[in-house]
Structure 1
Amino acid sequence: MNGVMEIRDHLLDELELAVRTSQALIMRIKPEEWDWRPTENMRTLLELVHHLAAIPASDLAILQEKTQPEVEAVENGARDISAPLELCQRLRSNCDALRQYMLSLDEDELLHKATKAFYLDHGTVQIRWLIEIVTHFFHHRSQLYNYLKQLGHELSFFMLYG
């Protein structure tokens, strides 16, 4: 395997770690905690988990040049779900779809195929999209961890890397 594909696989492995550890965090949430938000200008816990579960699918829709209404439909696809297990399953299936897409690309496509998000005036190559998705996901996983800490959950920093 060449270096480009190894880097892609490392990025997908990091995303897998973030998904797995996010699922463990989601499974700790109690029904009465869903409406909690740290401050008035931030998402509720449920809104944050909905967004986290949607990231692989909504970002995939963005890099596949879907329209803003199409991306919003994907982003809101779990709006009616509040069962932690079902949210984890949605996150898993969304991540699997992103993984399949990235694995379907050859080296040239990863490095040179540029697609344009509806909100940008320029294209971005696929490997940069993957980097963006991984960092986007880790950002919101960190938020989830902090929300749960603020709610008094007993969490260890080490659980984010297991």
Structure 2
Amino acid sequence: MYVENVINQLSLSVKTVFEMLELITEEDLNFRPIDDKKSIGELAQHLCELIGADLKIMSGVSQEAMVVYYTEVQCTSLIEMKKLLQKNFHDLKENYLKMNGQDLFEEVTSYWGLKYSKFEWLLEILVHFTHHRAQLHTLLVQKKGKINIALF
């Protein structure tokens, strides 16, 4: 039940990111109000790839494998970003909903040495995603003014 609850919260966040992606135009992608921070396009790309990336990290893949992943999922359009996000969220649900209690408490160490249980990795994915969702929302408000997308 806990897994389903976390996935439900992630689902709500994914839904609002899809709503934000619908507001973005190709011209918006390069909007970067702070020089050393991500643009709207870079942040959208990161949101769409991060569930898949974190799933791979949760599986214990190497840093080299992550470099390959990020290269393979580099999107060239908003349509590709939406498809990637949809695929990654589907993969997460498929992966986690078949785990049993023992699987969820199996610990996995990331390539940089961070050790979490698979359930903790799911929580990390939720927190990571909602963090960047808030950043994208802020950038869109800066670019477009008031947008009618509730985050909670």
Give, as a single letter, the amino acid of the residue that structure 2 aligns with 1:49.
Answer: A
1:149–1:155 CA contact under 8 A, matched in 2: yes
Q: How many residues align?
A: 152
Q: Spell out the pairing of 1:46-61 with structure 2 (5 A cutoff).
A: 46-61=41-56
TM-aligned CA distance change 1:49 to 1:157, over 3 Å: closer
2:45–2:75 CA contact under 8 A, matched in 1: no
1:55–1:75 CA contact under 8 A, matched in 2: no
1:67–1:118 CA contact under 8 A, matched in 2: yes
Give the equivalent residue in structure 1 for 2:109.
116
Structure 1 runs of 4+ with >4 Å offset: none
Is 1:65 equivalent to 2:60 in the alignment?
A: yes
* C-alpha distance in structure 2 between counterparts of 1:17 and 1:26, whole Å: 14
* C-alpha distance in structure 2 between counterparts of 1:147 and 1:51, whole Å: 14
2:75–2:81 CA contact under 8 A, matched in 1: no
1:103 positional shift = 1.2
Q: Spell out the pairing of 1:12-161 with structure 2 (5 A cutoff).
A: 12-82=7-77, 84-110=78-104, 112-120=105-113, 123-156=115-148, 158=150, 160-161=151-152
1:54–1:74 CA contact under 8 A, matched in 2: no
For structure 2, which runs of at least 5 residues remain unmatched after alignment? none
Identity %: 24
1:81 positional shift = 1.9
1:138 positional shift = 0.1
Q: Give the TM-score normalised by the residue count of structure 2.
A: 0.93
Give, as a single letter, the amino acid of the residue that structure 1 aligns with 2:3.
Answer: R
2:16–2:149 CA contact under 8 A, matched in 1: no
SS of residue matched to 1:124: strand
* C-alpha distance in structure 1 between counterparts of 2:30 and 2:120, whole Å: 34
SS of residue matched to 1:27: helix
* C-alpha distance in structure 1 between counterparts of 2:132 and 2:146, whole Å: 19
2:30–2:41 CA contact under 8 A, matched in 1: yes
